[in-house]
Amino acid sequence: MAASLLGFVAVIALLTVTPGMDTALILRTAAAGAPRQAWGVVLGIQSGTLIWGVLTAAGVTAIFTASHVAYETLRWVGAAYLVWLGLSLLWSTRRRPAASIAGPLFAGPLFAGPLFGGGFRRGLLTNLLNPKMGAFYVALLPQFIPAGMPVFRFGVLLALIHVVLGTAWSALLVALAHRLRGVLGRPRARRVLDRVTGTVLTAFGVRLALGGP
């Protein structure tokens, strides 16, 4: 059991610190001077991770990923969502010197309301609309569940470990963005950060759309 847990921690820790879509979204939100919204994004992403983990431990995700129609539907919806987020942010840099907190990435009825709530919904959707997260857990979790252990309980434990590691790493990202807010808050730096984040989100959306089942 200990060996399985240590092995899982090593794999997840490496994947967690690898820069990607979540990193870009958290840094951009925190650098915009909205720490509450950044924490909303963080907890939304991690809530999505926990949901995928619980569904996988219960065997639901395996059924879902085996369904071509369900997987393809979620894949295209997720791809469209990410491309929309990315292009909205890129477009905002053409219209203004720097995107503000009220810019397209933070606007619309879906993200309306308190800063924390809007960030939480954005982070949750970004995670849940990515069917590759489900496929990832289906492939990964069984490898680290020892024989004879309760599959559901141990699978949920692994998902919780993933959430704790992800939250800890995200806290460092938010703190880093806060320390650099004087630099990242400048119009030119904000424009560059928005373009990078928009490009990353769009690229992930295109990759998801073209990736196939």
Q: Domain boundaries in the chain?
A: 2-14+21-210
Instruction: Give per-residue pLDDT as tens, 166-204.
Output: 999 999 999 888 787 767 667 777 778 778 888 888 888
Question: pLDDT grade, residue 112 (50/70/90)?
Answer: very low
Contact yes or no for 128/51 (Cβ under 8 A) = yes
Contact yes or no for 92/105 (Cβ under 8 A) = yes
Q: What's the chain's average pLDDT? A: 81
Residue 207 predicted with pLDDT over 90:
no
Contact yes or no for 134/70 (Cβ under 8 A) = no
Spatial separation of the C-alpha atoms in residues 207 and 79, rounded to whole Å:
8
- For the chain, how many residues are written? 213
Spatial separation of the C-alpha atoms in residues 62 and 78, rounded to whole Å:
19
Give percent helix, percent strand, percent coil of the chain, each to the nearest 5.
85, 0, 15
Instruction: Give per-residue pLDDT as tens, 131-159.
Output: 878 888 888 888 888 888 888 999 999 99
Question: What's residue 33's pLDDT?
Answer: 67
Q: Determine the number of helices (DSSP H) and then strands (DSSP E) in the chain.
A: 10, 0
Residue 104 predicted with pLDDT over 60:
no
Question: What's residue 120's pLDDT?
Answer: 92
Instruction: Give per-residue pLDDT as tens, 25-78.
Output: 888 888 776 788 889 999 999 999 999 999 988 888 777 777 778 778 888 888
**Radius of gyration of the chain from Cα atoms?**
18
Q: Two tokens at 43? A: 């907890």
Spatial separation of the C-alpha atoms in residues 19 and 172, rounded to whole Å:
13
Spatial separation of the C-alpha atoms in residues 74 and 70, rounded to whole Å:
6
pTM of the prediction?
0.79
Segment 91-103 mean pLDDT: 55
Q: Two tokens at 95? A: 């219209």
